[in-house]
Structure 1
Amino acid sequence: MASVNPPRGMRDFLPADKARRERVLGVIRERYRAHGFDEIETPVVEDYARLHAGIGGDNEKLAFNVLKRGMDAEAIRAAAGDPAQLSDLGLRYDLTVPLARFYATHRGQLPTVFRSIQIAPVWRAERPQKGRYRQFVQCDIDIIGDATARAEAELLVASLDTLDALGLEGGSIRINDRRALDAMLDVFGFAADERPGVLITIDKLDKIGSDGVIAELTERGTTPEAVAAFGAFLLRPETLEYRPFGEGQIRKALPEGVPDGVIAHLVGIGDSVAAARGADSLGGVPLVFDPFLVRGMGYYTGTIFELAHPSVDYSLGGGGRYDGMIGRFLGQDVPAVGFSFGFERLVDLVPEGEVDAGSSIVLVHDRDVPVAELVALKAALVAEGSRVRLEQRTKNLKALLERAGADGYSTFATVSRGTPRAELDLRPLG
């Protein structure tokens, strides 16, 4: 007998779960729109060649590809060794590649600086495990056409504001710049062809510590002098005085030789976020400079960030600047930067609240009430702005009302034959 479960790594959502998710998505949309972003929609599939153009990092290996139509068994066997011959489309594995294609397609109809919202499911052929799914929702905001620190500041302020609106105050954003990372590796003497592997190891610093990073770099056969210089920097004596986000903190965390322009860009972001958040000083800004924040996507060209919250030890979102991606479609570079909430992680942390701002009523009716009366009564309540469900009375009324409460209903009334609207006795559930 065929399984009735959804495919591995994918989920069904019961009404209460779906209502909770939509409530959170509604807050995210409202806050993003309040900050001047406009929502777009792109197809769930993109051309195979676009999804495998070398701009999606490791996610390209996780893409679900769509078999070309019309291929017979012989054609499939002949192309079995070449996925590009088998597929011409694929499910999107993120929303950034589709956005870059969207902008290249519609550039003439968009403002010079375009602020977009994309909230939609994406698909990756992950190994399913707790918190990791094959289908999940991403909530992205991006700014295209602005190379200044204003773009990053707008993204971070909108994201922090949204987090606050969801009842998750206290979040902070770790921030770094890929140009600072490149300059740091150059200062230490790592060869250009070693750097991708070095960054992969540095990205493990939180998990394996300084000694583990140095040991792994040594095992990789990385330039010994560079490993020694980097190790000395990691293990240098440091004082524990507090330094708020700003030039002092950034310079103290980096070796000499990082370009002043990169540092100035980061400081400008901090100043702007401080002004927007009403902070008297940068000490009140929820930004933390992390010189070893890497983020694995190869398309990042500048600032990178990750959202942290004290209630969990994993990231709730992140993003960065990807100034080179759109140029792959247009033939000329266009500055772009984006931020994405990890919705599946975020939604589980949002405090419980009323799903519906308005009235929601369950009408529990006797068996003998005429259908016309029930439908007319329901229509009258709906016209008043209420959400209404009809339920025939059962022996176990308590179970019926508990289920209605779990589905988000707040009040109920019993209905007998001939009960007029004015005599409905609305009582709270629970």
Structure 2
Amino acid sequence: MKADNSPARGMRDLLPDEVVTRDHVLSTITDIYGRFGYRRIETPALESIARLTGGQGGENEKLLYQVLRRGLPDEMAPDTTLAELVDLGLRFDLTVPLTRFYGNNAAQLPTPFRSLQIGPVWRAERPQKGRYRQFYQCDIDLIGEGSVLAEAELIEATTTALAAVGLNDMTVRLSDRRFLSALASSAGLPQQSWDRFFIALDKLDKVGWDGVRKELDALAMPAAAVENALDVIGQLQSVGAEKLVDVLANALPDLAENVLADLSVTTGCLDALGRDRAVAWQFDPTLVRGMGYYTGQIFEVAYAGVSSSVAGGGRYDKLIGRTLGRDVPACGFSIGFERIIDLVGNLVAKDGVAVLMEADVPIADALAVARDLRAEGRNTEIIPRSGKMAAQLKRLEAANFGSVVVVRREGDNTVTDDIRELRSTPSQ
């Protein structure tokens, strides 16, 4: 039987050129976030199953990879429950581990604390273009800052990072979970149905209004209440910055003044940011974000020509309290790293030098030539000469070498030719 050497479904091997691109994007993003004061932390891939299934992850909890307890016997009783078999799971995002990290280490961290996390996460979802079962996330979080300084800074830092990797045509979509709760309450939806209403609304960009209505009908929600909510949403779409607060106040008279004030500050900061760089924004009353832990403003970054967002986040002031025992204001933003890689494309620069070593050249001499080139800051590889020169130069150019130097023997001496640039070498 032939061995299956393919990676697990929905997971990938990455070739060297792909890793070069990913490393470039990661280093660029990390550098930008560092300028804003965000410092890298690391958390384990595995977390307690109780924490991962504690209602913090919304729909993602259904996509959890669970891990069997150590030391289980080969056979279990037929009535054994899953809870008796599992005690750990692979993290499905970086926010839930962060809350545990902060709860355990708060006494050693500054206030506010600016966190940067980069690492793989796992979700057992159906693989498709741009979505994988193992993928990287890149998160920044500002913990301990209760004002919308957090929201405004996170948005500016993330749009700056995206621009630095070449994504400039961006639109920030903004909403607020407190607005959504006021909307559902004002429309007359029973509170126990709010989460299901929000989840259905969050699928608008995938299924359209007809699909949302169909899903809400299937949930047997009061038809009049649903129509009331959808009517208010219609009034709030495409509202300009100068009218947003007034329109919100008129559409939802019970919406708290502090919610309106917070949105006014954030949108004012977005206006100012948009005057300095190519960043547009809009208030999106259909934006929900799937995680159940958001408590305030939520936001996503859309990129021209891409149906899904390339970054998203929001405020989650209650989540850390589940570990620490007291509420701590917190806000975070996560970049969709795999989507960014797909958009950026191949960034491999042809800057490597190939040292072509003729067969009679002493290895020590070839090593010395390569050593001198590396001392000049050049990426250098030693490659034996083989076949026709023109054909080998073509192969080297295809392998992303930018130049070549031939090391050969003349009598008893080793000779190094001048460096040649590889630019579409003509065939011979």
TM-score w.r.t. length of structure 1: 0.90
Aligned pair partner of 1:303 in 297, 308, 332: 297
Query: Hey, what's the Cα distance between the residues in 1 that align with 2:217 and 2:67?
Result: 42
Query: Hey, what's the Cα distance between the residues in 2 that align with 1:360 and 1:88?
Result: 48
Structure 1 pair 47–375 and aligned structure 2 pair: CA distance change class (3 A): same
Q: Indicate the residue corresponding to 1:414 in structure 2.
A: 406
CA apart distance, 1:294: 0.8
Query: Is 1:391 the counterpart of 2:388 in the alignment?
Result: no
CA apart distance, 1:226: 1.2
Cα offsets for 1:238-291 (capped at 9, x unmatched): 9x9x85435x135436723222211211121122344455549xxx75221101
For the 8 Å contact 1:176–1:291, the answer to whether it is kept is yes
Cα offsets for 1:83-119 (capped at 9, x unmatched): 3321222221111111111111111111110111111
Structure 1 pair 392–429 and aligned structure 2 pair: CA distance change class (3 A): farther
Instruction: Tell me the matched-pair count.
Output: 418
CA apart distance, 1:14: 1.1
Structure 1 pair 213–112 and aligned structure 2 pair: CA distance change class (3 A): same
What SS is found at the alignment partner of 2:401? coil
Structure 1 pair 334–420 and aligned structure 2 pair: CA distance change class (3 A): farther
Map of 1:169-188 to 2, 5 A cutoff?
169-188=168-187
Query: Hey, what's the Cα distance between the residues in 2 that align with 1:87 and 1:212?
Result: 36
Cα offsets for 1:145-193 (capped at 9, x unmatched): 0011100111100111111111111111101000000001111111111
Q: Indicate the residue corresponding to 1:264 in structure 2.
A: 261
Structure 1 pair 73–93 and aligned structure 2 pair: CA distance change class (3 A): same
Query: Is 1:249 the counterpart of 2:244 in the alignment?
Result: yes
Cα offsets for 1:363-400 (capped at 9, x unmatched): 11211111111111111111221110111112154554
Q: Indicate the residue corresponding to 2:188 in structure 1.
A: 189
Query: Hey, what's the Cα distance between the residues in 1 that align with 2:393 and 2:248?
Result: 58
For the 8 Å contact 2:239–2:283, the answer to whether it is kept is no
Structure 1 pair 80–415 and aligned structure 2 pair: CA distance change class (3 A): farther
Map of 1:18-417 to 2, 5 A cutoff?
18-74=19-75, 77-78=76-77, 81-233=80-232, 244-246=240-242, 248-252=243-247, 255-257=251-253, 258-276=255-273, 278-279=275-276, 286-350=280-344, 352-353=346-347, 355=349, 359-398=351-390, 400-417=392-409
For the 8 Å contact 1:141–1:340, the answer to whether it is kept is yes
| Identity between Structure 1 and Structure 2 (%) | 43
Query: Hey, what's the Cα distance between the residues in 2 that align with 1:59 and 1:410?
Result: 45
Cα offsets for 1:2-22 (capped at 9, x unmatched): 111111111111111111111
What SS is found at the alignment partner of 1:117? strand
**More deviation, 112-121/214-223:** 214-223
Query: Hey, what's the Cα distance between the residues in 1 that align with 2:114 and 2:387?
Result: 55
Query: Hey, what's the Cα distance between the residues in 1 that align with 2:120 and 2:241?
Result: 35
CA apart distance, 1:30: 0.9
What SS is found at the alignment partner of 1:36? coil
Query: Hey, what's the Cα distance between the residues in 2 that align with 1:208 and 1:250?
Result: 29
Query: Hey, what's the Cα distance between the residues in 1 that align with 2:324 and 2:332?
Result: 19
Structure 1 pair 319–156 and aligned structure 2 pair: CA distance change class (3 A): same
For the 8 Å contact 1:149–1:265, the answer to whether it is kept is yes
For the 8 Å contact 2:137–2:336, the answer to whether it is kept is yes
Match for 2:252: what amino acid?
A: E
Match for 2:418: what amino acid?
A: L
CA apart distance, 1:82: 2.5
Structure 1 pair 125–398 and aligned structure 2 pair: CA distance change class (3 A): farther
Query: Hey, what's the Cα distance between the residues in 1 that align with 2:296 and 2:202?
Result: 17
Structure 1 pair 84–408 and aligned structure 2 pair: CA distance change class (3 A): farther
What SS is found at the alignment partner of 2:343? coil
For the 8 Å contact 2:320–2:327, the answer to whether it is kept is yes
Match for 1:107: what amino acid?
A: A
CA apart distance, 1:409: 2.6
Structure 1 pair 166–380 and aligned structure 2 pair: CA distance change class (3 A): same
Structure 1 pair 211–349 and aligned structure 2 pair: CA distance change class (3 A): closer
Match for 2:405: what amino acid?
A: A
For the 8 Å contact 1:39–1:116, the answer to whether it is kept is yes
Query: Hey, what's the Cα distance between the residues in 1 that align with 2:263 and 2:384?
Result: 62
Query: Hey, what's the Cα distance between the residues in 2 that align with 1:407 and 1:250?
Result: 56
What SS is found at the alignment partner of 1:130? coil
Q: Which runs of 5+ in 2 are unaligned?
A: none
CA apart distance, 1:209: 4.0
Query: Hey, what's the Cα distance between the residues in 2 that align with 1:353 and 1:235?
Result: 42
Structure 1 pair 91–404 and aligned structure 2 pair: CA distance change class (3 A): farther
Query: Hey, what's the Cα distance between the residues in 1 that align with 2:4 and 2:213?
Result: 49
Q: What's the Cα RMSD here?
A: 2.4
For the 8 Å contact 2:172–2:279, the answer to whether it is kept is no
**More deviation, 33-42/60-69:** 60-69
Match for 1:29: what amino acid?
A: T
